[in-house]
Amino acid sequence: MEKMKRVEVEEKNSTVTLTFNKNLYPQELIEQAISDFKDACEAAFQNEKLVLRPKSDEIKADVLGYEFYNYLLGLIKG
């Protein structure tokens, strides 16, 4: 079975695409994390995936993706 990548970075347009296991990541917490990250990035869902685009050139897309996941895990732990 092929392992799914959770974070895909597209260097060309400086975006990061995140894939979530819906059994582990509740939608309401994903929405909360998006709201909490609104100053750092723009977020949009595309075909069950979340695409983040940094608002600043100083923010690296790959770092943003992993920071978003870490933040979301913190929300889940409560």
Angstrom CA distances, 22 to 10, 39, 43, 49, 51, stand at: 23, 25, 18, 11, 16
Give a yes or no: residue 2 inside a domain: no
Q: At 1, is the pLDDT very low, low, confident or very high (cuts 50, 70, 90)?
A: very low
Q: Is residue 1 part of a domain?
A: no
Please state the domain count of the chain. Answer: 1
Give domain status of residue 25, yes or no.
yes
DSSP string across 11-66: TTTTEEEEE--TTTS-HHHHHHHHHHTTTTEEEEEETTEEEEEESSTTS-HHHHHH
Q: Is residue 70 part of a domain?
A: yes
- CA dist., res. 53 & res. 23, Å (int): 25
Q: What is the CATH number of the domain that holds 47?
A: 3.30.70
Give residue for tokens 């975006």: 15
Q: What is the pLDDT of residues 25-74, one digit of tens each?
A: 899 999 999 999 999 999 999 988 899 999 999 999 889 999 999 999 99
Q: Which domain holds residue 68?
A: 7-77
**Is the predicted pLDDT of residue 11 greater than 80, yes or no?**
no
Question: Model-level pTM?
Answer: 0.84
Residue 60 falls within a domain, yes or no?
yes
pLDDT on residue 2: 46
75 three-state secondary structure: helix
Is 64 a domain residue? yes
